[in-house]
Amino acid sequence: MKKESNFWKLVFGSGGVTACNVLRAFLINKLLAVFLPPSMFACVGQLQNLMTMGQATSSLAMQNGWVSLTAQNRKDREKLVGIWHGGFRMTTYATIFTCILAVFFCFMAPLHLLFPGIPTRLVQAAILFSLPGILAMNIVTITSSVMNGLGEYRRWALIGILASFLQCVWVAFFLYSGRLSVLSIIATQSVVAGVVAAQIASRAGFSFNVIRRTALDTRSPWFSFAIMGIVPMVLSPVVLTVMRSFIGNEFGWEAAGIWQGIWKISDFFAVGFSAILGVVLLPKISRELSKKEFWATFNPILFKMFGITFVVVAILFACRQWVVAILLSSSYAGAADYMPLQLVGDFFRTGGWALGLVLIARQETFKFLMAEIFSNIYLTVGTIVFSKLYEFSGPILAYASENILYFVALYIVVRRLKWKNQ
Mean pLDDT of 315-343: 82
Tell whether 422 is covered by a domain.
no
Residue 343 has pLDDT above 80, yes or no: yes
Percent of the chain with pLDDT over 70: 90
Tell whether 343 is covered by a domain.
yes
Percent of the chain with pLDDT over 90: 18
pLDDT band at 45 (very low <50, low <70, confident <90, very high): confident
Per-residue pLDDT tens digits for 210-243: 887 777 788 888 888 888 877 887 788 788 888 8
Residue 172, judged by CB atoms within 10 A of its CB (0-12, 13-18, 19+), counts as middle
Do the beta carbons of residue 193 and residue 140 sit within 8 Å? Answer: yes
Do the beta carbons of residue 213 and residue 84 sit within 8 Å? Answer: no
How far apart are the C-alpha atoms of 326 and 312, rounded to whole Å? 16
User: What pLDDT, on the 0 to 100 scale, is given for residue 374?
Assistant: 93
Residue 17 has pLDDT above 70, yes or no: no
Residue 44 has pLDDT above 80, yes or no: yes
Tell whether 421 is covered by a domain.
no
- Report how many domains make up the chain: 1
Residue 128 has pLDDT above 60, yes or no: yes
User: What pLDDT, on the 0 to 100 scale, is given for residue 421?
Assistant: 55
For residue 10, how many C-alpha atoms fall within 13 Å in the half-sphere facing its CB?
22
Residue 419 has pLDDT above 60, yes or no: yes
Strand, coil or helix: 151: coil
Mean pLDDT of 41-64: 81
Tell whether 154 is covered by a domain.
yes
How far apart are the C-alpha atoms of 238 and 76, rounded to whole Å? 39
Range of the domain at 315: 2-415
Tell whether 232 is covered by a domain.
yes
Confidence (pTM): 0.67
pLDDT band at 21 (very low <50, low <70, confident <90, very high): low
User: What pLDDT, on the 0 to 100 scale, is given for residue 209?
Assistant: 81
Do the beta carbons of residue 400 and residue 344 sit within 8 Å? Answer: yes
User: What pLDDT, on the 0 to 100 scale, is given for residue 131?
Assistant: 92
Residue 146 has pLDDT above 60, yes or no: yes
Mean model confidence pLDDT for the chain:
83
Residue 2 has pLDDT above 60, yes or no: no
Residue 361 has pLDDT above 50, yes or no: yes
User: What pLDDT, on the 0 to 100 scale, is given for residue 411?
Assistant: 93
Per-residue pLDDT tens digits for 69-107: 888 888 888 888 899 999 999 998 999 999 999 999 988
Do the beta carbons of residue 298 and residue 362 sit within 8 Å? Answer: no
Distances (CA, A) of 220 to 52, 190, 215: 25, 30, 16
Do the beta carbons of residue 195 and residue 136 sit within 8 Å? Answer: yes
User: What pLDDT, on the 0 to 100 scale, is given for residue 272?
Assistant: 67
pLDDT band at 285 (very low <50, low <70, confident <90, very high): confident
User: What pLDDT, on the 0 to 100 scale, is given for residue 96?
Assistant: 92
User: What pLDDT, on the 0 to 100 scale, is given for residue 35?
Assistant: 73
* Farthest-apart Cα atoms in the chain, separation: 62
Tell whether 64 is covered by a domain.
yes
- C-alpha distance across the termini of the chain, in Å: 26
User: What pLDDT, on the 0 to 100 scale, is given for residue 334?
Assistant: 78
User: What pLDDT, on the 0 to 100 scale, is given for residue 400?
Assistant: 92
